[in-house]
Each structure stands twice: as C-alpha cells, then as structure tokens.
Structure 1
Amino acid sequence: MNSLKNSVRLVGNLGMDPEVKMFDGNKKLTKLSLATNDSYKNDKGERITETQWHNLVVWGAQAGLAGDMLKKGDEVVIEGKLSNRSYIDKDGIKRYATEVVVHEFLKTAGK
C-alpha cells in the first residue's frame, strides 16, 4: 500500500514536443506538457469540456526514450508521482511548481 500514497495515472495528449536536457554525469531530463479532458453536461444539457494541463518530468533512461519516441499531439498514458518544488525566478521572486515525476509511460494508438 505504500506505493499508493503518492501515485498519479493520467491519459492525455502532449501539448509540446519533448524538451530534453543533459546534466553532468550524462543525466537526462525530459519535460513534457500533458492535457487531460473532462466532459459533463451543464444545466441546459450542453456538453462542456474542461482541459487540465499537467507538467511532466522524466529522468534517466525513460527520459531518453520519451525524447526519442514522443511528439506534440501524441496520446500517452503515464504513471508517476506528484512533486512540489520552489525556485527563485530571474527577478528574484520565489515561485512554486507542481510536477508529475513520470516512472512509466505508454504511447497509445490514439483515438
């Protein structure tokens, strides 16, 4: 049950091509943006679709695969965990970010 404490599974479409970065020691990081959609009917019976955007980060060997295999618009299934961090921007202001650290991903055939 410990693995369920911080677990995220999402299915959606990539909103950008992978952004791959290399660090010292050949460490790789790939950043992605994932859109997920929820639909419901409002009081008038109209179908409303809401899009949520998720920032994804992939490390190591998976980062290389994501950079090679994925592109903007691809439908993917991801499994990972939520991560919160803070940083100081170029203007000296403290900012906060929530990301999904991806453990596994699967590119689907789409709709």
Structure 2
Amino acid sequence: MLNKAILIGNLGADPETRYTQDGTCVCNLRLATTEKFKSRTGEQQERTEWHRVVIWGKLGEIAAKYLTKGARVYIEGKIETRKWTNKEGQDQYTTEIRASEMKMLGGGAGGGGGAASGGGFSGGGYSGNNDFGGQSRGGNQGGGFPTHGGGGGAPSRGYDPFASGPDFGDVPIDDDIPF
C-alpha cells in the first residue's frame, strides 16, 4: 500500500506555529495548488484546491522561520485524517498532508529559493518526522540541510529542484508486471 502526496503550490497565509507540551514544533500551512484546463467549449479555465499541511519538529521550525504568505513550496508527505470531539460533543474530522519533506522554491511573495543553501530542507533525517526510523532517505546526512552549495542566507534565484532529476535510491526493479 502507498500513501504519498506531492504538492507544489503557494501559501495562502503565513505559517501558524504552536508547540506541544514536550516542546515539539507543529507548523500548519494553507497551501493552494492551481490546475489549468480547457472547458468543453475550449475556454481556458483554472481551478484552485486548498490543502492543509502539517509539519512537525525541526522541519516545522524551519518552515515557520523562512516561509511567508505567497511563497512557493514543494511538499511531500502522506494524507492523514484526524478525528476529535468538539465542545458540543460532536465528532469532527479533518484531512491534511503530514509533510516529511519541504523545499522552498523561487517565486511567490517569498521571492527566493530559501535560506543558507539554495532552498531545500528535508525532514527525512529527523527522528519522529517520518516512517523510516529516523534515517535519511537520500545522501543527505547533514541534519536536514542539502549538501549542494548556496550560501550566506541569500536567496538562490536560479535554484531548480528538478534539475538533477528524481532520486529513486535503491528501488527494486520488478519486470513481472501483473497486468
């Protein structure tokens, strides 16, 4: 089974941050993704979908510090539905993306590619933020900061998150396709 969400969009508001009783950061984002399409009459239209994104721990602190309303961001995580009981005793539900990876992209009101190293931050190396036992998923062993250059806190305007292609790691190849 697979539960994975990948989104690229713009923040509709500044991040909202709170801390649990044990001091863990919880950062909430409102992310808008826009789809452009042609209607049946051939007219160009667009549809915007709003997503709730929750980022925990150190990655949440980074998001709260560097993201602002309008910033373009890449989010990778899983879809979760939470249930709670409101003050009237009624069950309430919300569906959100629990982010395990976040990359700041150029564009939007945030303007730049991010802080200190060209825009990417991964939650994969932080224990408690993923389903990988605290292990980083790629060659990134630097506490969540990518190993590529950048620098000095200046935004990296030329950053292209897709320039090096996807890193599929050690994915087993199964040529026996069942259909």
Q: Do both share a fold (TM > 0.5)?
A: yes
- Compute the displacement of 1:66 (Å): 0.5
More helix by share: 1
TM-score of the pair, normalised by structure 1: 0.92
Q: Equivalent pairs: percent with the same residue?
A: 36
Amino acid at match of 1:53: W
> Is residue 4 of structure 2 the alignment partner of residue 7 of structure 1?
yes
2:38 to 36, 41, 46: 41
Gap regions ≥5 residues in structure 2: 109-179
Larger radius of gyration: 2
Amino acid at match of 1:54: H
Instruction: Quote the Cα distance in structure 2 between the aligned partners of 1:87 and 1:47.
Output: 41
Q: Give a deviation string over 1:5-25, Cα, whole Å, max 9, x none.
A: 111100000011000001112
Q: Give a deviation string over 1:53-106, Cα, whole Å, max 9, x none.
A: 100000000010000010110000010000111111233221111010001111
Aligned residue-pair number: 108
TM-score of the pair, normalised by structure 2: 0.58
What is the aligned partner in structure 1 of residue 23 from structure 2? 26
Instruction: Quote the Cα distance in structure 2 between the aligned partners of 1:103 and 1:22.
Output: 18
Superposed CA RMSD in Å reads 1.2
Segment drifting more, 82-91 vs 72-81: 82-91
1:103 to 100, 106, 127: 100
Higher-RCO chain (CA-CA 8 Å, sequence separation at least 6): 1
Instruction: Quote the Cα distance in structure 2 between the aligned partners of 1:45 and 1:10.
Output: 27
1:66 to 49, 63, 68: 63
More strand by share: 1
